[in-house]
Amino acid sequence: MFEFRVTAECSRTGARAGEFITPHGVIRTPVFMPVGTLATVKAMSPRELDEINAQIILGNTYHLYLRPGAEVISAAGGLHEFMNWHKPILTDSGGFQVFSLAKLQKITDEKVICRSHIDGSLLEMSPEWSMHMQGVLGSDIAMCFDECCEFPATHEKAEQAVKRTTLWAKRSREYFYAHNDTNRQALFGIVQGSVYDDLRRRSAEEITGLDFPGYAVGGLSVGESHEAMYHSLDVLNDIMPKNKPRYLMGVGYPLNIVEGIARGIDMFDCVLPTRNGRNATVFTSSGRLNMRGAGYAGDFSPLDSECDCYTCRNFTRAYLRHLAVTGEILGARLFSWHNLRFTIRIAEQAREAIIAGKFPEFLEHFTQNFHDEHNGNEA
């Protein structure tokens, strides 16, 4: 039920256009995947996600394990049925949340012992736990349990995370192929190594040696510079298999997406579009805007004249600024709607450019026109 094929490739960069066939549909890459942490993409209904052409969304294993719990989702028939989303779903392993949210008590090669960030209850998590839980969720793509270390990390700390990530990938793979439905779910391996070239190469060689259907790059977008991220991707570009999808975890900043695509990345995810939307910050073709700025109070132009989303086709900056400063719920929804569509559209435009043989021109145009600044006067 799973097949990935590269349909076009840029001869001057590592950019690829591809198709990944899953039980719930074909994912056309490059693709940005909205994050639905708690079985919902914040402020968006499944119908609205379909309208903005979201091809695949994410669910979070750790959060869904805590609420509503495996029993409820299993009784509902899996995550697709529970949230009424019938396109592909990817679930993360829960590992990142263990290290970023939960109060870590102890970590060994065997398991992680931590306390819930909700009620402080004691939790024990392992590769086997993660594979079982993702099997219950019934996602199309499951992720290996891994150790993501903080940034900055010493070489010694990052090396320990690489060793444990490989160990846990082997255990994840063994449990997955013994217990999960491999006709309905694919398991991706994760490459770690922080910003150390030798560790990135080592991790990539070890993880790709286990022959997963796809591979993710973890441990980036955690505080390192854009240049350090791009360098790590350059290091990996020639090591990662050409015939498998590549997923850059937790990256959704527009410039990072286009630069990632230029380095052979096929899949991206991030909470940034909706998180920024709830805070009245939006991405546009010219850069980032803070819509609380007083300069927009009398601006009756669309948010982004080049965007095809519902927000840009129907509302002015003046109205949207009014929603922002008055704290209206509709503002958070419309900003999130736009940000998600804008980010999804970046991947769509990159794909079109790759197929047309014009990706370098697209890359140059985007990077020259997208400015990382808040326009308009601050309120």
Residue 107: Cβ-neighbour burial (10 angstroms; 0-12, 13-18, 19+): middle
CA nearest neighbour of 127 among 211, 189, 199, 200: 189
Amino acid, res. 310? Y
CA nearest neighbour of 248 among 14, 9, 12: 14
E strand spans, 46-191: 57-59, 89-91, 103-107, 112-115, 122-125, 141-143, 186-191
Interaxial angle between packed helices 359-369 and 329-356, expressed in degrees from 0 to 180 and rounded to the nearest 10: 150
Q: Which residues are catalytically annotated?
A: 92, 269
Residue 300: Cβ-neighbour burial (10 angstroms; 0-12, 13-18, 19+): exposed
E strand spans, the chain: 3-9, 16-22, 25-29, 31-34, 57-59, 89-91, 103-107, 112-115, 122-125, 141-143, 186-191, 214-217, 246-248, 267-270, 281-284, 287-290, 371-375
